[in-house]
A and B are shown apart, each in its own frame.
Chain A
Amino acid sequence: MSKSRINWYKYAAPVNFYPLAGKMLPWFSGLAIVLFAVGLYLSFFVAPVDFQQGHSYRIIFIHVPAAWMGMFLYVLLAIYAGIGWAFNARLGSMMATAIAPTGAIFTFISLVTGSLWGKPAWGVYWVWDARMTSTLILMFLYIGFISLQSSIDDTRRADRAGAVLALVGVINVPIIYFSVQWWNTLHQGATIRIANKPTMAPTMLAAMLVLTAACWIYSIAITLARVRCIILERESEAPWLAESAVSA
């Protein structure tokens, strides 16, 4: 007698992913709230004043997580868009569409907070250095992705066009990351590296990492909520929705 095989692709179908996302959503939402609360407490009440920058350095606790999220989410968006395109997997394309607005918001936050930190630290709100310029390009890539998909009526064509843009634009992410090493930039180099000991005080590092985790979990929660909306919108003609009690 043969064993029943595990269907690893069960949740690649929107009809199965929809309820799974619904079950995960409250947990990720609650965890995000807790992490934000803990992170903000650490940022304002535990992390000490910087001897050089005073209290202005506290912007780091928002700026760095937002910048990291902007980059990570773009890579994730490109991966999902690529999967959706290569395997004709509708859910992959839906996930890419769901991630884009959140990534754009985090990138915008990193630009604004970076500007507000730049004034007290460097004396200027903006310079056209490598990191800032490439981050601005990332912002434009997000806006371009969202606009391109919105401008094409046919959903599958919109997904394919968006996938091309996402995959071409992903080269910008390593450019942002390595820009401080490759060019002479006003922006400081990496404080946290995988292979090296961080140069930040432990309490400051803890606050930053907790808020980074908060942004990650928030992004997962908001993407799950948004992809559920996208599934309902795109699959409205599908039998599993059309036959349900609430379909039109």
Chain B
Amino acid sequence: MGGYGVYVWPSYAVTFVLLALEVLMIIKRKRAISNRADPGASELETSELETGLSH
């Protein structure tokens, strides 16, 4: 990076670490909701939730 690596690499690192953390937090939040709703279920999606109302 021509001596500028100390600026360039942390910029990209901060960006992708934060975006990855955001994704992980969403996954964690979804799991917490699933566990609260039904501790025995591993996945929240059911046919009722994913079809909505027909009208």
Residues of A at under 8 Å CB distance from B? 7, 10, 13, 15-20, 22, 49, 54-56, 58-59, 62-63, 66, 101-102, 105, 108-109, 112-113, 116-117, 119-120, 218, 222, 225-226, 228-229, 232-233, 236, 240-241, 243-248
Contacts and interface: CB of A to CB of B under 8 A. Distances in A.
A116 B22 CA distance: 22
Nearest to A16: B52
A34 B7 CA distance: 25
Given A117-B7, A248-B37, A240 B44 contact: no
23 contacts: A16-B53, A19-B49, A19-B50, A22-B45, A54-B1, A54-B2, A56-B7, A58-B1, A58-B8, A66-B15, A102-B22, A116-B8, A116-B10, A226-B29, A229-B26, A229-B29, A232-B33, A240-B49, A240-B53, A245-B46, A246-B34, A246-B37, A246-B41
A49 B52 contact: no
Interface residues of B, number: 35
A109 B13 CA distance: 10
B37 A18 contact: no
A58 B2 CA distance: 12
Interface string B1-25: 1111101101110110011001100
A243 B52 contact: no
B32 to A, nearest CB: 9
A49 B3 CA distance: 13
A233 B50 CA distance: 16
B48 to A, nearest CB: 4
Contacts of B55: 7, 10
Interface of B: 1-5, 7-8, 10-12, 14-15, 18-19, 22-23, 26, 29-30, 33-34, 36-38, 41, 44-46, 48-53, 55
Interface on chain A toward B: helix, strand, loop, or mixed SS? helix
Contacts of B49: 18-19, 240-241, 244, 246
A229 B37 contact: no
Nearest to B4: A56
B33 A233 contact: yes
A116 B1 contact: no
Contacts of A240: 48-49, 53
A243 B48 contact: yes
Contact of A225 (B26, B34, B51, B52): B26
A55 B46 contact: no
A17 B49 CA distance: 10
B34 A226 contact: no
